[in-house]
Structure 1
Amino acid sequence: MKKSFVAFLFILFLFEGSVFQLLLPQAWGSTFVVIPQLVVSGIIVISLYLPKRYVLIFAVSFGLLHDIVYGPAWGITAFTLAMVAYGTYLLANHFPPFVWIVGVAVVLGQLSFTLLVYGWYRLFGFTDMPFLLSFATHVLPTLAFNTVCAYPIFRFIHYIYVKKRNRQVVFDTIIR
């Protein structure tokens, strides 16, 4: 099951860096900037299903991959993604993964991830954009886009989880 999640997250990583870059409003000259964070949505949803160690390993490894390919400094996205994934994991201990709970978790996770990355970039001097301008032109469009894209990601991850779990339960009952 974990191999399926890694393969799916890697496909999301490739899509957010290639296909979605052509479809976004900034590619057409808009002042709004949408940052596709499909891997963040995937890790937030996976953190509702998997144990803590796997969630943190996925978050740090894909965060470092994102930092190496796109980031101005290594570790910012990895640390922030691990914090958000751990927070979502803690939320998952209290609630079952219903669709509306996943939606709330994705909105809170995406919002906190985007704001934390903005805070780190502002702290280290990678950006000097004022907060309100950044919130209106970057954070809100990014949050809306990634929340809409998170639903198919949730459905596919839920499908993988249920399919693999049912296969494992059937196999375990046959052996015993």
Structure 2
Amino acid sequence: MRKLILPLLFVFLFMLESIFVQYIPPGLFGLFGRNSIVVPHFLIVGILFLTIYGGRKKGILYAFIFGLLFDIVYTEILGIYLFLYPLVAYIVSKIMHVLQLNLFSTSLISLVGIALLELGVYELNFIIHITNLDFSSFLHLRFYPTLLFNAAFLLLACYPLQRIIEKYSGALRDE
């Protein structure tokens, strides 16, 4: 049963993103403006915490699996998240080798990972002509509101997420 806790956590985070997007009214966050786009990245936050606290191999494996699932369910083009989730997890794992492991640095680096993901998704979509939004508009309409929202999520969820991942990834290593 303990082996199922982490996969269930990530399935929950995956579903929570879509529930949030579907049921939260777009104008709720008046701070960002009426036309802004707030994108929750709960799943990548969980994957980055798993990469940092549970191990690089496990984090990249989950990033690959859930990147593919994300592409299948939400995007028209397979491969964008399949490529970017493991890449961001790998970059974050390399950055964390240099930094001291604490909750503040983990949260800050997770925010950097979200920024890399957002920039990567925008650039790939711009290259293949899925979006025609210029970079300045992207920054103001989507990038900054998304980072602020996910920073607030990290502030609320970083400690419980760290505890759960440390507890159950350690339990999987012991078995």
- The two structures have a TM-score, normalised by structure 1, of 0.85
Contact kept in structure 2, 1:76 and 1:120, CA below 8 Å = yes
Counterparts of 2:107 and 2:78, CA distance in 1: 29
Q: Give the Cα separation in 1 of the matches to 2:38 and 2:79.
A: 22
Matched pairs, number = 171
Equivalent in 115, 125, 145 of residue 149 of structure 2: 145
1:9 to 1:46, Cα distance in 2 relative to 1, 3 A: same
User: Where do 5+ consecutive residues of structure 1 fail to align?
Assistant: none
Instruction: State the 1:91 CA deviation.
Output: 1.8
Larger radius of gyration, structure 1 or 2?
1
Conserved? CA contact 1:122–1:128, under 8 Å:
yes
More displaced, 39-48 or 131-140?
A: 39-48
C-alpha offsets along residues 140-175 of structure 1, whole Å, 9 cap, x if unaligned? 101111121123432222222443478789x89xxx
Q: Structure 2: any 5+ residue segments left out of the alignment?
A: none
Are 1:26 and 1:33, in contact at CA under 8 Å, matched by a contact in 2?
no
Task: Report the counterpart of residue 25 of structure 1 in structure 2.
Answer: 26
Identity of aligned residues (%): 23
Q: 1:99 to 1:72 in 2, by over 3 A?
A: same
Identify the residue that residue 13 of structure 2 maps to in structure 1.
12
Moved over 6 A (4+): 165-169
TM-score w.r.t. length of structure 2? 0.86
Listed one character per residue, the Cα deviations across residues 12-54 of structure 1 (whole Å, up to 9, x for unaligned) are: 1101101343225357992011011110111111111122221
Cα RMSD of the aligned pairs, angstroms, is: 2.5
